């Protein structure tokens, strides 16, 4: 009788740990993603800030922040999966006796952790650049970003896994991902803007958007767990 294999959660955690350990050795994706997100924020400030006033309205700041998260997240996703393609690592991963859903969950966790680390750096940076106060509702803001990132990663992992062998995978990932995650971006940006507004803080509105993000995260993770196997490993 073979030794009992570890449970589903342990296997998912193992996959996530493997991805994060690989990333931690080179820190390639983390550094490039953070730099890209910072550049996106800077480019937007060059485009939007005019005259003496160096502050932007909360809705613009929130929008810039979420666009930076979206762009750097997309790049991060495709780089994480490029690693699986090198040396056909994905083949060994799929041959290992791990449920596909555990592979999916591990990948989502690893992507979320990476993106969240980038957000932890870029959000205060954006606040400094645009003279916005984020400390008032810092925990709530972090929750919004975390929920939005989970929703984004849940869809993104399914698509990047399916795109592994496509030649135009980079552009196709954005083409497929952006319309689907539009509600996440909308809810995230609106919610963030309501939290950042010092004059008229709208807690009820922010709560509503947090709920939308939570529902989106739950729905996308559920569908992802269900669809990852046929989409990524059909044959």
Partner 1 sequence: MSAGRPSDFRLVAGAAVAALGFLGIPFLIAATPIEPVMGIVQKIFYFHVPCAYLLFLSTFVCAGASIAYLFKGSEGGDRLALCSAELGVLFGLCVLVTGPLWARVAWGVYWQWDARLTSALLLWLMLVGYLLARRYGGPAAKRLAAGLALFAAVDAPLVYVSVNVWRTIHPNTSVITQSVPEMKLAVRLAALLFLVLWGVLLALRLRLERARAALGELELACEDALEGP
- Rule CB under 8 A: choose which of 39, 120, 175, 203 binds partner 1: 175
User: Using the 8-state DSSP alphabet, how is residue 132 labeled?
Assistant: -
Sketch the per residue contact string, 64 through 103, with partner 1: x for CB under 8 A, - otherwise: ----------------------------------------
Asked if 25 is part of the footprint of partner 1 (rule: CB under 8 A), the reply reads no
Asked if 223 is part of the footprint of partner 1 (rule: CB under 8 A), the reply reads yes
Cβ(159)–Cβ(177) below 8 Å: yes
Residue 2 vs 179, nearer CB to partner 1: 179
Q: How far is the CB of 217 from partner 1 (least distance, A)?
A: 11
Stretch of 39-47, 76-84, 133-141, 165-173 contacting partner 1, by CB under 8 A: 165-173
Report, in angstroms and rounded to the nearest whole number, the Rg of the chain calculated over CA atoms: 19
Q: Between helices 58-85 and 8-26, what is the axis angle to 10°?
A: 100
* Site residue total, partner 1 (CB under 8 A): 36
Question: Any alpha helices (H) in the chain, and if so which ranges?
Answer: 8-26, 28-48, 58-85, 89-95, 100-129, 138-162, 169-196, 203-233
Asked if 155 is part of the footprint of partner 1 (rule: CB under 8 A), the reply reads yes
**5: exposed, middle or buried (C-beta count within 10 Å: 0-12, 13-18, 19+)?**
exposed
Residue 157 has phi, psi (to 5 degrees) of -65, -40
Residues that bind partner 1 (CB under 8 A): 155, 158-159, 162-169, 172, 175-176, 178-180, 182-183, 186-187, 190, 205, 208-209, 212, 215-216, 219-220, 223, 227, 230-232, 234
């Amino acid at each position: 009788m073979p030794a009992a294999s570890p449970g589903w959660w342990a296997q998912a955690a193992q996959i996530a740990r493997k991805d994060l350990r690989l990333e931690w050795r080179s820190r390639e994706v983390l550094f490039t993603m953070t730099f890209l997100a910072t550049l996106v924020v800077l480019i937007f400030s060059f485009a939007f800030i005019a005259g003496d006033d160096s502050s932007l309205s909360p809705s613009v700041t929130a929008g810039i922040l979420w666009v930076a998260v979206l762009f750097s997240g997309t790049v991060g996703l495709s780089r994480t999966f490029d690693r699986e393609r090198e040396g056909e690592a994905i083949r060994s991963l799929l041959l290992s006796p791990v449920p596909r859903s555990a592979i999916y969950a591990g990948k989502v966790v690893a992507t979320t952790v990476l993106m969240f680390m980038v957000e932890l750096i870029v959000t205060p940076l954006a606040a400094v650049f645009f003279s916005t106060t984020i400390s008032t509702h810092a925990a709530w803001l972090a929750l919004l970003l975390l929920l939005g990132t989970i929703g984004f990663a849940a869809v993104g992992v399914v698509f990047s896994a399916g795109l592994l062998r496509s030649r135009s995978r980079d552009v196709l990932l954005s083409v497929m991902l952006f319309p689907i995650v539009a509600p996440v971006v909308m809810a995230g940006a609106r919610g963030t803007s309501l939290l950042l507004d010092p004059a008229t803080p709208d807690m009820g509105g922010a709560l509503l958007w947090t709920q939308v993000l939570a529902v989106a995260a739950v729905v996308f993770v559920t569908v992802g767990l269900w669809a990852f196997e046929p989409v990524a490993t059909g044959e």
